[in-house]
Amino acid sequence: MHMLRFPDSLVAGYRNFMTGRYVDERERYRVLAETGQKPQTLVIACCDSRAAPETIFDAGPGELFVVRNVANMVPPYEPDGHYHATSAALEFAVQALKVRDIIVMGHGRCGGIRAALDPNAEPLSPGDFIGKWMGLLKPAAEQIQTNSVMTAGERQTALERISIRNSIANLKSFPCVKILEERGKLNIHGAWFDIGNGELWIMNRETRDFERLEF
Amino acid sequence: MHMLRFPDSLVAGYRNFMTGRYVDERERYRVLAETGQKPQTLVIACCDSRAAPETIFDAGPGELFVVRNVANMVPPYEPDGHYHATSAALEFAVQALKVRDIIVMGHGRCGGIRAALDPNAEPLSPGDFIGKWMGLLKPAAEQIQTNSVMTAGERQTALERISIRNSIANLKSFPCVKILEERGKLNIHGAWFDIGNGELWIMNRETRDFERLEF
Amino acid sequence: MHMLRFPDSLVAGYRNFMTGRYVDERERYRVLAETGQKPQTLVIACCDSRAAPETIFDAGPGELFVVRNVANMVPPYEPDGHYHATSAALEFAVQALKVRDIIVMGHGRCGGIRAALDPNAEPLSPGDFIGKWMGLLKPAAEQIQTNSVMTAGERQTALERISIRNSIANLKSFPCVKILEERGKLNIHGAWFDIGNGELWIMNRETRDFERLEF
Amino acid sequence: MHMLRFPDSLVAGYRNFMTGRYVDERERYRVLAETGQKPQTLVIACCDSRAAPETIFDAGPGELFVVRNVANMVPPYEPDGHYHATSAALEFAVQALKVRDIIVMGHGRCGGIRAALDPNAEPLSPGDFIGKWMGLLKPAAEQIQTNSVMTAGERQTALERISIRNSIANLKSFPCVKILEERGKLNIHGAWFDIGNGELWIMNRETRDFERLEF
């Protein structure tokens, strides 16, 4: 392995996989390779190492089509000819794979949200990609930032949830999403995972408040 | 739960998580929430439901910072003020989290690669986001597309691996990545996962060929 | 009973009490009458019929000295010679009964808080007592009221918790409270009861965030 | 729980509540949260730990809107722009919740009444809030104080009952109360609870004497 210089921890993890669950799932992988994937669900989640959808939903191969970016955001629909990673994945999931459910999943202690709330944040590099990316949340972040009566923790959680609602609204700005949702062929859900205690909060469609899922 | 209308399969999966591995990992999540995440590794992987990094590397919370887009691509460095999901996540991982390793992980049977190889591919929607996104691979795709002596499967695998090399080259167009790699503080790796049989192939740094990892 | 015209439901409830738990607690009441009350805890709670401290804490006679007003508020220390119901009860609890703990307990769906957040609220009577009383929260209410990115439910919960922190700050403006707390003879706690699902959230002393109490 | 440092006895009591009566009342709380409270009765009671209305009337969630202050007093109607806790709660109960019954409930061994009868009482703190508060009873207290032929116990009980009548008279100084009572839409009751033996005495509307309620 040192010839290939692949991180030891990943080699060890891959070995655990191949000698563990893969033994039980081998046939399933084979079939999925032959027939293609038919996941029912698109999950738009954060890159955060503590909030992996497959872990949280105990998902096996073939179940979840997963997009992960910083702060689980969906930009608004802009068919301007530039390349848009999240829009491309969304289009593929909805039009090609024909998923039935889209979950926008945020989480607590999100670094992207924290950056958006920091009035003194410096660009991480001259490109300031994170600054621009989190700019998708700017109006909401400014309202929350100036609130002096909520604690830092409350502002953080508030903006994390606002971001999920914002992403859901942007999802609906995609014509294919809007049309399919209206026809009852696509359901959009919001979820927020508390990495501190494992709680999962689901967005109530009517009130748009987040409520703890009891299991 | 019907009031919150969350997919039953995900509720069941979450229950399995909370009554299963979370019981053992509870303290780890708690500490990670308090101290923050310090993942050593950034993985750039595909959205494909059959190729989840956490599964393949048996990773637990806190280990992998994961970006997932169609065909695990990294666009070239373009600090043009627009928002770039993958570039933002890369900047955050390298500059804020200071990861030590970046893995670009592709896989077999990739739908994005298949689309890039299909000369008759129609846009999935008027926005044609996938068409534009896979355009990142256009020069390479055109060469492979016109190859008449390789089988469809060989062309598919070839372009999947070319794409990984392409993403790695684009990674190095980011100044912060280039500088840190030259100083030995950042290692870049390519990997390709065969979803049909579980094999993991690692890119040899010298030859840039992919070689099967034995475990 | 019709001679005394006391509500039937209360007569029935009193009968349940006397033939039920009073039978077991009879001796305790007798002793408490003779020796006097020595409650360790002062609870400042809301009048709301769904948030009774004795119920939520399963308290028996002699345990809790309870002040209840609209929105569980503690006004700031103002020794101006007027009569102040909450200040008088606080003074009695701290100086005469020498309680060890003070709990300021708020709750979800609080009508007083809802009134404070309603920009169109009309006075309930010419005296506008509720309007003036909720004015104790005015600066905080105005900040929350103008937030357009949080849901109505989020604003409600935010102000309920802000109000608890506000009451705790006002408690500390009473010299007797401040002195005893500094000497470690008095502990002040914040709690918030979710009447919808029975959850009790406790204020973390360091962060001042509310965290769910697991039992 | 030690992180949140909430009194152990209250944590234990809350656990008893959640594993006991809450199991039976869960649905009731849920409905009350959604539809709002509609208590029929306002109770003005004392803070005393031995005289909790919910206990004495075996009341469940949603039944009683409860104000508790020292010596269960209602100050006279004074719309002077200051904040008045008891007046605000009264206004809310009568005008917003539209209660049908108001119970002023006093009790034996009341510490506030004892203080009012003590000619040598020193202020409990420089603010002398209790002194001022009990001043609401001053004329009556002075008459009873100087009575040399009643025992201390008789003077105590006498002033407790005088105080209830005093509070009822002050209730009627509130225009909204007076109007609704005259129209038969609001009934005012006096009650006195003997903490020593559990007896409940109700005020006879005609004579204004207190008579023991048999159950």
Beta bridge partners of D190: D104
What is the distance in angstroms between the Cα of A31 and the nearest Cα belonging to chain B? 8
Is C147 close to A143, i.e. CB distance below 8 A? yes
Contact exists between A and C (3 or more beta carbon pairs < 8 Å): yes
The answer to whether residues B165 and B137 touch, using CB atoms and an 8 Å cutoff, is no
- pTM of the predicted structure, to 2 decimals: 0.91
What is the distance in angstroms between the Cα of A140 and the nearest Cα belonging to chain C? 6
> What string of H, E and C letters represents the secondary structure of chain A?
CCCCCCCHHHHHHHHHHHHCHHHHHHHHHHHHHHHCCCCCEEEEEECCCCCCHHHHCCCCCCCEEEEEEHHHCCCCCCCCCCCCHHHHHHHHHHHHCCCCEEEEEEECCCHHHHHHHCCCCCCCCCCCHHHHHHHHHHHHHHHHHCCCCCCHHHHHHHHHHHHHHHHHHHHCCCHHHHHHHHCCCCEEEEEEECCCCCCEEEECCCCCCEEECCC
What is B37-212's CATH number? 3.40.1050.10
* CA gap B96, B27 in Å, rounded: 25
SS3 (DSSP) at D29? helix
Q: Is D110 annotated as a binding residue?
A: yes
- Give the pLDDT band of residue C95 (cuts 50, 70, 90): very high
Q: Report the residue of C129, C180, C201 to disrupt the D interface, i.e. the one with the largest count of D CBs within 10 Å.
A: C129
The answer to whether residues B158 and B174 touch, using CB atoms and an 8 Å cutoff, is no
CB pairs under 8 A between A and B: 333
Instruction: Output DSSP code: residue D198.
Output: -
The distance of Cα A24 from the centroid of its chain, to the nearest Å, equals: 28
Closest CB from A144, A150, A209 relative to C153? A209
Which residues of chain A have a pLDDT value below 50? 1
pLDDT of residue A1: 41
Q: Is D139 on the interface with C (CB under 8 A)?
A: no
Sequence-ordered alpha helix ranges (H) in C36-151: 53-56, 85-91, 111-117, 129-134, 138-145
Which chains, if any, share at least 3 CB pairs under 8 A with chain D?
Answer: C
Q: Is A152 on the interface with C (CB under 8 A)?
A: yes
Rounded to the nearest 5 percent, the helix, strand and coil shares of chain C are 45, 15, 40
Q: Is A24 annotated as a binding residue?
A: no
pLDDT over 70, % of chain A: 98
Q: Is A212 on the interface with B (CB under 8 A)?
A: no
Q: Report the residue of B125, B134, B189 to disrupt the A interface, i.e. the one with the largest count of A CBs within 10 Å.
A: B125
Window from A36-45, B190-199, D46-55, D75-84 with minimum mean pLDDT = D75-84
- Nearest 5°: phi and psi at D206? -75, -55
pLDDT tens, position by position, for chain B (215 residues)? 345 689 999 999 999 999 999 999 999 999 999 999 999 999 999 999 999 999 999 999 999 999 999 999 999 998 887 778 999 999 999 999 999 999 999 999 999 999 999 988 888 888 889 888 999 999 899 999 888 899 999 999 999 999 999 999 999 999 999 999 999 999 999 999 999 999 999 999 999 999 999 98
Res C2 pLDDT > 70? no
Q: Which residue from C minimizes the CA distance to D89?
A: C70
**CB within 8 Å of A186: residues ≥ 6 apart:** A94, A99, A100, A101, A102, A177, A180
Res D147 pLDDT > 90? no
Tokens of C151: 């849901």
Q: What is the pLDDT of residues D154-168, one digit of tens each?
A: 999 999 999 999 999
What is the distance in angstroms between the Cα of A150 and the nearest Cα belonging to chain B? 20
The mean per-residue pLDDT over the stretch D163-182 comes to: 96
Q: Is C164 on the interface with A (CB under 8 A)?
A: no
Res C209 pLDDT > 50? yes
Q: Which residue from A minimizes the CA distance to B80?
A: A127
pLDDT of residue C157: 97
Beta bridge partners of B210: B203
What is the distance in angstroms between the Cα of A146 and the nearest Cα belonging to chain B? 24
* CA gap C4, B149 in Å, rounded: 104
CA nearest to C215, candidates B206, D143, D1, A160: D1
Instruction: Output DSSP code: residue C136.
Output: G
Is C207 close to A153, i.e. CB distance below 8 A? yes
Tally of CB atoms within 10 A around B130: 27
Q: Is C169 on the interface with A (CB under 8 A)?
A: no
Domain boundaries, chain C: 1-36, 37-212
Is C68 close to D67, i.e. CB distance below 8 A? yes
Binding residues of B for Zn(2+): 46, 48, 107, 110
Tokens of D58: 């075996």
CA nearest to D96, candidates C70, C5, C100: C70
Is C209 close to A154, i.e. CB distance below 8 A? yes
Residues of C in contact with D63 (CB under 8 A): 9, 49
Could you identify the residue written with the tokens 């307990």? C105
Res D4 pLDDT > 80? no
What is the distance in angstroms between the Cα of C112 and the nearest Cα belonging to chain A? 18
Q: Is C86 on the interface with D (CB under 8 A)?
A: yes
**CB within 8 Å of B12: residues ≥ 6 apart:** none
Could you identify the residue written with the tokens 């006498």? D158
Amino acid, single-letter form, for residue B138:
K
What is the distance in angstroms between the Cα of C170 and the nearest Cα belonging to chain A? 15
